[in-house]
Amino acid sequence: MAGLYSCQQETIRLDGYEVHGIDVSRYQGKVDWKKVIAQDIDFVFLKATEGQSLVDSQFQSNWKQLSDLEIKKGAYHFFRPTVSSIDQAKHFIKTVKMDFDDLPPVLDIELMDGVSKAAMVNSLKSWISIVETHYKVKPIIYTNQKFYNKNLAGHFDDYPLWIARYNNYQEPEINGTNQWSFWQYGNKGRIDGIEGDVDFNVFRGNALELDNLTSQPPTVLSLNK
């Protein structure tokens, strides 16, 4: 994610934030999740899908393993603006079976792929509408700070933002009225249980506020009359 904006030096974990997380894809290979979680990692986002047909080769294995552990997990879709947003949404829904306490689905948009800003925004809105209706929770939008401020500001103010900004640990500066909820502050983190680099993230709030982002438990009907 945000590969065009890679850090040059190892990413050091930030102090001053209560909730820490990582995101992974097939590039991290086989992960020892018990080791990872033991190092004060509170949430994980996994790459699930891309375009209308690609499924990350590690997604299903990682998703199943994390379902058995005490950690918040979420899945993201890498969006391709030239591909039907309807097909992309259906592909994600077919691939990702969410539990009620999972983090919302994530729409990862980093490239224009030659389409106009208006066409790209409309495609994103279509994907979001379909996915939100299916999972009954507002998706998170992931992108880098520059892309958001140039192309997305003002269009998705009601949706949680996950912003990549790798700039000397300075928090994202967002145009418009929205605020970031997740901040990816570096992509060269090192942690036991993962070989090689991994993205480091923080959540803006506390653990209870992270819980409030998830889907709610199914309604239990009262038997009292």
Say whether pTM exceeds 0.85.
yes
Domain boundaries, position 143: 17-213
Report the distance separating Cα 204 and Cα 172, nearest Å: 11
Is 155 a domain residue? yes
Amino acid 89: pLDDT = 98
With vertex at residue 185, the alpha carbon angle to CA 183 and CA 190, rounded to the nearest 5 degrees, is 125
What is the token pair recorded at 79? 């969006």
Active site residues: 23, 110
Residue 206 inside a domain? The answer is yes
pLDDT at 219: 44
85 is a domain residue = yes
Q: Within a domain: residue 7?
A: no
DSSP letters spanning 185-211: EEEEE--TTSSS-EEEEEESS-HHHHH
| Segments of the chain scoring below 70 in pLDDT | 2-7, 215-225
Instruction: Please give the pLDDT value at position 200.
Output: 98
Q: How many domains does the chain have?
A: 1
Q: What is the pLDDT of residue 2?
A: 55
Quick one: pLDDT at residue 72?
A: 96
* Residue 40 located in a structural domain: yes
Residue 5: inside a domain: no
Q: Is residue 221 domain-resident?
A: no
Distance CA 89, CA 7 (A): 31
Residue 177: per-residue pLDDT: 93
pLDDT of residue 1: 74
CATH no. for residue 148? Answer: 3.20.20.80
